[in-house]
Amino acid sequence: MSEVAEEKKSRRGGRNARRAERAAPLPEELRPVRAGLEGGTFKPLSEMDVVRINEAVMDVLETIGMADAIPSCVEACTAIGAIYGDDGRLRFPRSLVEEIIASANRDFTLHGFDPKHDMSPKGHQVYYGTAGAAVHTVDVENRTYRDSTVQDLYDAARIVEGLDNVHFFQRPLTTRDTVDPLDMDINTLYASLRGTTKHVGTSITTPENAEQVLKMLHVIAGGEDKWRARPFVSNSNCFVVPPMKFAEDASAVLEVCVRGDMPVLLLSAGQAGATAPASIAGAVVQAVAEVLAGLIYVNAIKKGAPAIFGTWPFVSDLRTGAMSGGSGEQALLSSACAQMARYYDLIGGAATGMCDAKLPDMQAGYERGISNVMTGLAGLNFNYESVGMYASLLGFSLESLIIDNDLLGQALRCVRGIEVTEDSLSIEAIRQVTTEGPGHYLGHDQTISLMQTEYVYPVLGDRSSPKEWVEKGRPDLIEEAVKMKNEILSTRFPSHISNDIDDALRDQFNIVLPKEAVGR
Query: How far apart (Å, rounded) are the C-alpha atoms in residues 342 and 263?
Result: 20
pLDDT of residue 17: 56
Beta-carbon count within 10 A of 10 CB: 10
**Cα–Cα distances in angstroms (integers) from residue 185 to residues 161, 198, 205, 303, in the given order:** 21, 19, 7, 27
Calculate the CA 281 to chain-centre distance. 24
Q: Are the CB atoms for 210 and 253 separated by under 8 Å?
A: yes
For 359, half-sphere exposure in the C-beta direction (CA atoms, 13 angstrom radius) is: 11
Burial pattern 50-87, b for ≥16 Cβ within 10 A else e, equals: beebbebbbebbbeebbebbbeebbebbeeeebebeee
- Tell me which DSSP letter residue 311 carries: E
152 Cβ neighbours under 8 A, 6+ residues apart:
137, 173, 175, 396, 398
Query: How far apart (Å, rounded) are the C-alpha atoms in residues 22 and 454?
Result: 13
pLDDT of residue 314: 94
Determine if residue 69 is left, alpha or beta; phi over 0 gives left, psi from -120 to 50 gives alpha, anything else beta: beta
Query: How far apart (Å, rounded) are the C-alpha atoms in residues 76 and 82?
Result: 9
Across the strands, what pairs with 170? 201
pLDDT of residue 119: 97
| Sign of the C-alpha dihedral computed for residues 437, 442, 443 and 445 taken in this order | positive
Q: Are the CB atoms for 250 and 242 separated by under 8 Å?
A: no
Report which secondary-structure segment, H or E, holds 1.
none
Query: How far apart (Å, rounded) are the C-alpha atoms in residues 366 and 344?
Result: 31
What 3-state DSSP class applies to 324? coil
The tens-digit pLDDT sequence of the chain (520 residues) is: 455 455 444 445 555 655 555 555 677 777 898 999 999 999 999 999 999 999 999 999 999 999 999 999 999 999 999 999 999 999 999 999 999 999 999 999 999 999 999 999 988 999 999 999 999 999 999 999 999 999 999 999 999 999 999 999 999 999 999 999 999 999 999 999 999 999 999 999 999 999 999 999 999 999 999 999 999 999 999 999 999 999 999 999 999 999 999 999 999 999 999 999 999 999 999 999 999 999 999 999 999 999 999 999 999 888 988 889 999 999 999 999 999 999 999 999 999 999 999 999 999 999 999 999 999 999 999 999 999 999 999 999 999 999 999 999 999 999 999 999 999 999 999 999 999 989 999 999 999 999 889 999 999 999 999 999 999 999 999 999 999 999 999 999 999 999 999 999 999 999 999 999 999 9
Query: How far apart (Å, rounded) are the C-alpha atoms in residues 393 and 355?
Result: 8
Please name each of the domains of the chain with its CATH number.
30-417+431-520 (3.20.20.480)
For 163, half-sphere exposure in the C-beta direction (CA atoms, 13 angstrom radius) is: 36
| Cα dihedral 416→422→424→425 (10° resolution) | 120
Report the candidate in 412, 387, 394 with the shortest Cα–Cα distance to residue 481.
387
